[in-house]
Amino acid sequence: MSHLNLRWDDAEVRAAFPSLALTDDGVPRIYMDAPGGTQVASRVLERMREAMVEHCANEGGAFRTSRLTDQALQAAHAAAAEFLGAGADEVVFGLNTTSLLFHFSRMLARDWRAGDEIVVTRMDHDSNVAPWLIAAEERGVSVRWLDVNPASYQYRYDMLPQLIGPRTRLVACNHASNLLGTINDVARIVAAGRAVGAVTMVDAVQSAPHLPLDVEAIGCDLLATSSYKYFGPHAGLLYVRRALADRLAPLKVRPCVASMPHKHAPGTPSFEAQLGTVGALEHLAWLGERFAGVSAGASLRRRIAGGLAAAAAHEHSLATHFLEGVRELPAIRLYGNADPSEVARRVPTFSLRIGNLEPARVAEVFAARNISVWDGSFYAYEIAGVLGLRDNGGVVRVGFAHYNTLAEVDTVLAVLRELSRAA
């Protein structure tokens, strides 16, 4: 990848996303809402059409379209496995990450007993907290919390020895924060959990669009992503370590197969979402070929890694430019690492407040300019409470993807300057 990002072409990248060409009353749409869900690549639409038109049939039949559906399912699990560094029989698709974690919390909690403990964090999206809290309450299990340093926006790693011990049954954490943008040392947390035999769970929903994932390097038992956060359709994807999958009694209907990856899948899947996820990964692989110099004959995993590296280099330039611009606006408070020289330590998700302006009002001003940004706390319930944001409107969240441009960042900064003068 010696030519990484030297040929990056905004126009070529953006042409891969049909929605980016749309306007409203002649005003271009500027999508700065990527942390809540990205735009969809053309390859995704092509793959979904394939599932819904060329072989629209349920799986398991003797006829041609059903057999093609079977092949599509195999292709989806194989592609997801390449993406994660896992085996094809270690991937479970579902409606979304939240439903998958509620589903798996039921199975995991069966073995918990009163006096056991679980560890969750103050930084996670509530989908990686609430399922475990509910299961713990039902089983009489104690909950222990990994706190966040509100000054550094980092986990309190020094707490791990006192939190994790012989009674710990689960350790759940996130790879990147959907509110702070912090990239976390999940391998360190997972190692502490595995040392005492606990099941370890990593929420990689926010990191997946920006960072290569390697479940073996992380060492976790479970890892979740959502393909609509990396340019695909609405679908949840869960890595389940083979040893854990084998010992969990599945929640399934009786005729369902007893082998992975299907025994833990909650019902008939969305074939179009699975094949659309393949399209999203093919888009990342295309980025690797086109902008990182990876051979088209290389493995899908290597091409995806190259694509993510090329995209990250572009995103880092956007993030640096944004943070340098925000530095000039004293009315803005940014929640997360605001150092332009350290953008590689965070994902390009930025949460902020402007003086006493209500975040909802700020979002409306952006919307009036046809710029999509979010306001609120985005289900980051605990960290919003720690930072005093939960009950006062939360923050305004601006997030970049590789299809965004420096010109779009400048437009956002211009609006922020205007609002800062009014704050």
Question: Is 1 a residue whose pLDDT tops 50?
Answer: no
Start-end of CATH 3.40.640.10 domains in the chain: 45-280
| Chain segment 323-332, per-residue pLDDT in tens | 999 999 999 9
DSSP states along 17-82: -GGGG-EETTEEPEE-BGGG-PPPPHHHHHHHHIIIIIT---SS-SSHHHHHHHHHHHHHHHHHHH
Instruction: Name the class of domain 45-280.
Output: alpha beta
| Chain segment 133-184, per-residue pLDDT in tens | 999 999 999 999 999 999 999 999 999 999 999 999 999 999 999 999 999 9
211: how many CB neighbours lie within 10 A of its CB?
17
| Chain segment 294-303, per-residue pLDDT in tens | 999 999 999 9
Is the separation of the CB atoms in 119 and 196 below 8 Å?
no
Rounded CA-CA distance 128/171 in Å is: 10
| Chain segment 126-142, per-residue pLDDT in tens | 999 999 999 999 999 99
Domain 10-41+300-422 listed as CATH 3.90.1150.10? yes
Predicted confidence band at 5 (pLDDT cuts at 50, 70, 90)? low
Strand partners, 30: 371
Predicted confidence band at 276 (pLDDT cuts at 50, 70, 90)? very high
> Of 28, 36, 37, 20, which Cα lies nearest the Cα of 351?
36
Start-end of CATH 3.90.1150.10 domains in the chain: 10-41+300-422
